[in-house]
Amino acid sequence: MKNTWPLPQVDETRCTLCGLCVEACPCHAIELREQKLVFTCPESCPHTPTCAGTLDCNHLCEEVCPTGAISCAFEIVFEADRERGQVL
């Protein structure tokens, strides 16, 4: 199955630009630019398949966000089924 996972999604109506996610991201993939949260180097975000996959960020940006503005969507699979699943 082709990987097409999106970057973490940001709900700008909830984001207070507190910068916690910027501080927490171990890959330095997030920046605040012109009053906006930006994933500056998507290739550095381990949530995406382009990452080398050596770093386990535990989706810290989502975890630390106090307003729930960041979401890292995922499909749910059994270990053995992971290459078979199809999502919407």
Q: Which long-range contacts (CB under 8 A, 24 or more apart) does 23-31 make?
A: 23/64, 24/60, 24/61, 24/63, 24/64, 25/57, 25/60, 25/61, 26/55, 26/57, 26/60, 27/51, 27/55, 27/57, 30/61
Counting contacts by CB under 8 A, is residue 41 touching other proteins?
no
Q: How near is the Cβ of 9 to other proteins at its closest, in Å?
A: 8
Residue 87 as a binder of other proteins (CB under 8 A): the answer is: yes
**Min separation Cβ 32 and other proteins, Å:** 22
Q: Indicate whether 71 belongs to the interface with other proteins (CB under 8 A).
A: yes
Query: What minimum distance in Å lies between the beta carbon of 23 and other proteins?
Result: 18
